[in-house]
Amino acid sequence: MKSKNKKRLKMDIGKEMQHLWIKDIKENAKVEGNYLVKSKSVGQTRQGNPFLTLTLGDRTGTIEARVWDRVEEISTQFKEGNIVTITGQANTYRNQVQIQIHELKQNKSPVDPTIFQESTPKDITHMLSDLKKLANQIQNRHLRPLIDSFMADHHFVTQFKKAPAAKNFHHSYLGGLLEHTLSVSQMAVLVSEHYPDLDCDLLLSGAILHDIGKIEELIFDLNIEYSDKGRLLGHIVLGVMMVEEKLKSLKDFPSELALRLKHLILSHHGEFDFGSPKRPKFLEAFALHLIDDMDAKINGLNRLLKDDRQEGSWTVFNNLFQRYFFKGDSSVQANNKVKDIDSKQQGQRYLFPVDL
């Protein structure tokens, strides 16, 4: 049995080594292999001829691809979320590398899902442990049992630690929801220490629960898609429903505290234009919105900058933010890092003398 497992492991490693990762695709490269179809759309040239635009992905990123010939025939052979086998050539269009596909067919053979599923770079077990430690800091005798009821729910925890935080943009990978929730919760504690008028227990509880509806909103297999519940209700409403269900088993939970907690979830997107049913109407709700917004945008922008294939100092135009982003010269940034210095030189780093 062990020899079979070793042989299978060697085969999987061999497949990974042969796979041309999207991050490694350069201009003029010949591209052959299996890729996940993240999106698919049909367009028309000025002459009225159809063409197919695809977003192909693996765990290292995504790349745009085009099909110019036999579009109608090829388009019926696969759909979003399928693995396709392609043969093509990488070229550059508007300073972005894309693949011109010559041959494409749906791959129906078994594949190694880890090639296509992007996952959090952080350790799931450690993050979950850290989140539970934060939850243990909650002293409110009503909020603590509520949070504990979620942490003791095996089905919830199993889904929660695997789920992405979004379909696109921020933390949109397996384990992303836990990573985002932990980050927001850690900042909630820090912000509460800086602003003592904030109710830390309430803010931290809201931080832990604000996105729990994502486990029902999203389907996360090879591709991340919305469930029927997700499209019809959304994670904000689903999250409030999940809290209400847990509250049924907790006796004497104060009605105003329940109201405040549900408002934290309902208002954490901040504005109506951003899908928030309510705007923040007390301190902790306002703080949670700002913390959540910052964590999502920092993660999303960081990934955008790392994944950008545009040559030069600027990214391609970003439609979400309606602007270009400055990348600068990475070599200059690396060379400007402070080198290790001994204790005698330590004081020279400061404009004014300091006690060491």
Q: How many residues does the chain have?
A: 356
Residue 189 lies in a domain: yes
Residue 24 lies in a domain: yes
Residue stretches of the chain with pLDDT short of 50: 1-15, 341, 343-344, 347-356
pLDDT at 223: 84
| Residue 143 sits in the same domain as residue 288 | yes
Residue 315 lies in a domain: no
Q: CA-based diameter of the chain, in Å?
A: 75
Residue 334 lies in a domain: no
| Residue 277 sits in the same domain as residue 130 | yes
| Residue 236 sits in the same domain as residue 282 | yes
DSSP 173-230: SBTHHHHHHHHHHHHHHHHHHH-TTS-HHHHHHHHHHTTTTHHHHEEESSSEEE-HHH
pTM beyond 0.85: no
Distance CA 61, CA 280 (A): 35
Residue 350 lies in a domain: no
Count how many domains the chain has: 2
Closest to 56 measured CA to CA, from 98, 91, 26: 98
| Residue 238 sits in the same domain as residue 189 | yes
pLDDT at 2: 46
pLDDT at 356: 37
| Residue 226 sits in the same domain as residue 294 | yes
Q: Please list, in sequence order, all residues whose beta carbon lies within 8 angstroms of the beta carbon of residue 169, skipping any fewer than 6 positions away.
A: 296, 300, 320
| Residue 147 sits in the same domain as residue 285 | yes
pLDDT at 9: 37
Residue 44 lies in a domain: yes
Closest to 238 measured CA to CA, from 268, 215, 261, 259: 215
CATH code for the domain of 32: 2.40.50.140
| Residue 51 sits in the same domain as residue 163 | no
C-alpha distances (whole Å) from 307 to each of 22, 23, 200 are 10, 8, 36
CATH code for the domain of 210: 1.10.3210
Residue 36 lies in a domain: yes
Q: Please list, in sequence order, all residues whose beta carbon lies within 8 angstroms of the beta carbon of residue 250, skipping any fewer than 6 positions away.
A: 142, 145, 146, 149
Parent domain of 41: 16-115
How far, rounded to the nearest angstrom, does the alpha carbon of residue 298 sit from its chain's CA centroid? 11
| Residue 152 sits in the same domain as residue 184 | yes
| Residue 242 sits in the same domain as residue 284 | yes
| Residue 85 sits in the same domain as residue 129 | no
pLDDT at 332: 55
Closest to 268 measured CA to CA, from 237, 304, 225: 237
pLDDT at 340: 55
pLDDT at 114: 87
Residue 351 lies in a domain: no
pLDDT at 329: 77
pLDDT at 330: 61
CA dihedral for 290, 294, 300, 301, sign (positive or negative): positive
